[in-house]
Each structure stands twice: as structure tokens, then as C-alpha cells.
Structure 1
Amino acid sequence: MENQRKIALVTGGSRGLGRNSALALADKGIDVIITYHSQKEEAASVVEQIANKGGKAAALQLDAGLVSSFDVFVSGLQDLLKEKWGREHIDFLINNAGFGINTPFLETTEEQFDSLMNVHFKGVFFLTQKLVPLIAEQGGIVNISTGLTRFSMEGSSAYASMKGAIEVLTKYMAKELGRRGIRVNAVAPGAILTDFGGGRLKQNQAIREYIGSQTALGRVGEADDIGGVVASLCSGDMGWVNSQRIEASGGMFL
């Protein structure tokens, strides 16, 4: 039975939505490989929590914005799969790694723009391209987008634009990978209380109250509101859901 357990790769899985997604996947009986950029101890903690749930997990370092490092990463992933699982393939890829910059359009620098582009779009494009041969038939990809592609908030023009590109890319991935039975969907969280973007939402009560007042369910989201959505897309119950943008925002700005 253990050999039949599916495996998910979650980029940026040491904290926030990635961490929560990894734990939610483990709750569904899916083994997890997470990546981390610099937070090695936090990644190890996630691996330990999954092991305590009875699952298998591992962590690999990845700079999601450095395309030239992807070949080495993929080679290390292949070695890990063989050594720990006796497998050559993963079943699911969760493209979650990212960071936020809150800067008005007129003040956004080329350096900021390029750093967001490298992680949130270019990195996702080329990492997925390299990982597709390792994704099993009938597998799945979940790309993390944002509610900011539907509604706008000042300071998010560059970040939201990258995520808009991800939503378009999701459709093309679904079209081209469908012949292998690989489903591709995007999850678009609303405002979430995490350390994302320097924890700006956590630190500003006025913004939290405003967003809560503009959300149908009356509050700001938490990481626990998102992980289960991601994990559900990796279950058989969602096997006919493909090429969709699923917003998980509690009904922000309806």
C-alpha cells in the first residue's frame, strides 16, 4: 500500500500557504516533498509534522527565481525519489513559492518588477517545463494565483500582473498536458493572514477590519482556509475539474 501513496511537490512549503498545503495533502494520505529558499529549519519542522502524521516527507532547497539552477534541482529530486520512495515520478506539483512587494505602480522599479517576474512567472514556466516529464500520467498541477487578478488594491500592480499571466498559462498547460491526463488548475486566495509581503496584513488592524467589512464571510482569511482547497484538487473527487481559476477569498469585494 505504501508504494501506492501519491507524492506531491510543493514549492515554497516551509511557511504560509505552502506549509498549510503540504500538511493538508498529508492529511489526505499524500506524501510530500517541499522546497525552501532559505528557511531550512522551518522546512525540517514541516517534514517532521508530516512524519508524525504517518506520512513520508522531505525538503529540498530551491531558488524558484533562478532558472539556471533548475537542472541541478531536478537531478536532486530524481535522486531523492529513488532513494526515499523507490519511484521515478511525482503525482502532483503545487507551484506556490513566492513573495510580495507592495509598491504603487508609479514607484515600482525595474529591479522589483524583474524579481517578481523571475519567481512568479518565469520561474513557474520553466520549472514546470522541466518537471513535466517527472509528473505521472493522470497527475495534476495547481498554480497559486491571487484574488488580486479580479479586484485591484493599490500597490499590487506588478505582483497581480504576474499572477494574471499565471492564470493564462494555467489554461495553456491544461490544454497541452491534457493528453497525458494531467489536470492543471489555479487557486486564487484572497487576503490571508500570513507573513507574506512582510506580514503587512498581520501588522495593520485597519486594513484587516476594512477587508473583513468587504468580505461576504466577514473576516480576513487564514492559511487554514487555503490548504484544503489545494489538497482537494489533488483528489479523485476533483478529477473532472480542469483549467479552472478557483477563488478562495470568502467573497471579497463582491
Structure 2
Amino acid sequence: MDLLEKVDINNLPKHVAVIMDGNGRWAKKKGGLRIFGHQNAITAVRETVEAAAELGIQYLTLYAFSTENWSRPQYEVNALMQLLVSTIRKETATLTKNNIRLQAIGDIASLPDACRRELFEAMEITASNTRMTLNLALSYSGRWEITQAVKQIAQLVEAQKLKATDITETIISNFLATANMPDPELLIRTSGEQRISNFLLWQLAYTELYITDLLWPDFRKKNLYEALVSYQSRERRFGKISEQLTK
């Protein structure tokens, strides 16, 4: 039995999030510059998106560029932005063909004009697609997102449109960038690092973590299947005990 046959399509997470880590280390192992790793990561993105859509996963969020990444060497940031523009331009037709909707979360206003134009155009073109939502986290961090939500809620309280005593977890969730999608049930991180790197801090409260030593450019469909099989073998208790789940 191959890995795909082991995946229970009746027990899929609705939302999978991925920290795509290890591009620079992959490039160094190959004797190339860091951007060489980023360029070769596109195949991993394409295969992961295709596999998720084929299985029936509803939401796939990829951590593409964090707010902290702006502090990297300027030449690398420039190259990443150029790569983002060209990749979105090339892949939009494929997304439409496969009925995949593109969305983005993060401080999109901080992206270069060319990036924003390509991103908004692709989002508009794919807006009516329904098979799966591909969500790119760009210039994103969990702390930034929560700070923005707190500011918006505080403005409502200040304007006397909301009472402080009425603030609930649901209200906070409704002001997050992911308000229109469920929290991820599975987080995949490549490169073996044991942290979540300021990613979806609120949403990952009960997310199952799957960490692989594989560097992101080497990630393929079979590796997504491995993560899903691992996820499906776990008991998700949400603070309860096993006996409560069987009642």
C-alpha cells in the first residue's frame, strides 16, 4: 500500500498550514546562493498545492514571507519580491484551471507596488473559484496580526460601538486576517526547526504539529501524504480525556 492509499479522505483537516523552511540551507548544500533555494522551492509549492486540492483539503496557508524577513540582506529581499511577482504571474492560469482561489494575509501594503498589483490581479481572477483556497502569508507575523485586531477592537470600544465586557474569543477571531476560514488542524514545518516562528499564534492553539527534517525545496506530494497519515493517527482531545471522546 502506498502513502496515498493510507490517507483517509474522510478524516482530512479542513485547513493545513505550512512553514516552508530550509531554502537557504538547501542552496548552501548545493553550493548555490540563497535565492537558488527560493527558486527551487516553487516546485515544492506547486506539488503541495496540487496534492492538497486533489485530496479535498479546503484551505492551505503557506508562510511565504514574514515581517521579520524584511531584515534580511536587501539583495535577497529584492530577489524574493521579484520571484514572488513572476511566480504569481506564471501560476495564476494554473490556479484558475484547477478551480483554486488565491487569498493573502499580512501587511500587504508594505509589499512593493509590482507585488501588490500581481497579487490583487490574481486574487480577482481566482475570486470565484471554489475547489480550495490557497492563502499566502506575506509580510505577515502572528503578533502583527493580533496587534491589528486589538487596535480595531479598541477603536470600536472608544467609539462606544462595543463594550469591553462584550469582548470574547469569537470577537477577537472575527478581527483576525483568517476570520473567513477555520483554524488550521495541521501545521507542517520543514527543516527540523522546533518552533512556530510567529506564525498564526492565535489560530494554532490546538493545531497538530508535524515537523520534518526535510528541507522545503525537497518537499513533494508524498511528504504531504506522510504528514496527513501522521495527523490521522493522533487523538485530538482539546483538553478532554480519551473516555470523553468515545461517549
Q: TM-score of the superposition, structure 2-length normalised?
A: 0.38
Q: TM-score of the superposition, structure 1-length normalised?
A: 0.37
* Structure ID, larger Rg: 2
